[in-house]
Structures are given as C-alpha cells and as structure tokens.
Amino acid sequence: MSFRKMLEDAWAGQNSLVCVGLDTDLKKIPVHLLSAERPIFEFNKAIVDATAEMVCAFKPQIAYYAARAAEDQLLATISYIHDKYPGIPVILDAKRGDIGATAELYAQEAFIRYGADAVTVNPYLGFDSVEPFLRYEDKGVVLLCRTSNPGAKDFQDLRVGTQTLYQHIAMTVSEKWNSRGNAMLVVGATYPKELAEVREIAPDVPFLVPGVGAQGGDVEAAVSNGKDRAGTGMVINSSRGIIYASSGKDFAEAARCEAMKLRDEINRFR
C-alpha cells in the first residue's frame, strides 16, 4: 500500500488528523521507567498503545535516538507500530538533505533500515538531492516549506522573483516534484496566513503541520487555512503537549486524554 493511500485510510478510519510526535527525551520520561533495559522504547510503547485510537500517524524525531545511541529503540518503536497498528503510518523526522549519492544512502536509512513510511527532507539542495527519496514510490517524502520556528522568516520569506521562497518551494513541489503523488509539505501551524497561501498553491498536496500544543499554534486557524477540499489533507503534529502531559505513572493515560482532546478540537473545525 502506498503512503498516500495509507494516510487517506487513516484519516477516514481513525476520523483524525492528529500525529503524535515521539520526541522521547530521557530527561523527561517518568523516573520509574529509567531502570528498564530499553526505557525509551518502553515509554514509546505505552504512548503508542494509549493514543493509537486517536491518531492518523506517529512521528519519531531521530535526534532523540541518535544522540543517546538508541537507534535500536527507534527501530523497535517503528516495528512495534507496524506490527500492532499496521494501518497507522510512521513518519521519520530526520530532515535529510544532501547531494544525490549521499541522499540515496539517507533514503535507504529511512526506508530500509528503519522501515519508515515517510521521512522529512530538506529541499534546499534541489531536485537531485530529493529524487532518491521520491524514487520510493510507495513511501512519503515530506519537504520543508514554511517551518514553525521563529527563525523561519530569516530565509523562507526572501523573495524569489514574484514569490517568497516558501511559496516557490510549494509551487515546485506541487507542479514538478510530486509526479509520483508521494510528496508532502511541512507548513507550521504558527503561521496560519502562510498555511492558506500554501494551500492555494498546492491544493492536492498533504501538509505535515507542526506547531500546535507547546509551540502555541492556534488549532482553529490552522485547520481553517490548511485543510483541503475534503476536509483532510493535514497531519497535525503535537509532541511535548501530548507525550509529556504527565511525568507520573499515569503518563500514558494523560497522553491519551490530550490526544483525544486535540483530535476532537481539530474535528470541530474541519
């Protein structure tokens, strides 16, 4: 099954646009898990089991695993999701971007080593750096466009002819790079006006939307400006706001409550 079909089925079957970000920091997980042989995996497993009913995707951020030499726990997390919740796609947040030969290896890392269903990619080296990822037709390639961080404007708002750089990226991805139908765009909830602009430029491209929850993005504005004609087209990510809802032994139940709350709030505005 292609990533796009998997995502569409998850939107419909789960009635959700929520993505839970598995940004698992050993400094923040409950103390009682630290004595486990694989504490990151045990935390993730509990979060996944608690929230799977409410989500359309999970998104582990690779830095939290690589910095701890915990790639085995990342692989175990992705394998667990695929085995127990095969209808829910996994987006590996790696933001890879390099010349073609290196990009081919990064694509193998994401799709073969880890078995991710999609990966985030930096487009700023151009098409030859992205094409090795796009070549995996059944996988998703999530390209940075208008990111949610405050410094996004430093470069992404620069003019390229009559457009801003992020508008040019959106147009290029929508009209040229998405020939296989497996591309997505990252557009932050913290910039609702830009969400609307990118949606107009790329009406049929799904968005990965970070920035709600801890970053303060407004859910109503994000959904109103980013949804597609079908009322879907968005994977709205929340990481810290869900997975660290409690630091106690009730952390999984607290995460479930926050995921449910976010799902229901998003659905009010679809």
CA-wise closest residue to 60 among 82, 75, 38, 42 = 75
Of the residues 28, 95, 153, 261, which is catalytic? Answer: 95
**139 a catalytic residue:** no
For residue 26, what are the contacts with CB-CB under 8 A and spacing of at least 6?
34, 39, 40, 68
**Which residue is it, tokens 């695929």?**
82
**What whole-number distance in Å separates Cα of residue 236 and Cα of residue 55?**
9
Residues in the chain: 270
Q: Is 122 helix (H, G, I), strand (E, B) or coil?
A: coil
For residue 103, what are the contacts with CB-CB under 8 A and spacing of at least 6?
96, 97, 128, 129, 130, 131, 132, 133
**Which residue is it, tokens 């127990």?**
84
**204 burial type by CB count under 10 A (0-12 exposed, 13-18 middle, 19+ buried):** exposed
**What whole-number distance in Å separates Cα of residue 34 and Cα of residue 32?**
6
CB 240 within 8 A of CB 214: yes
Q: Would you tell me how many other CB atoms lie within 10 Å of the CB of residue 248? A: 10
Query: Catalytic residue numbers?
Result: 95
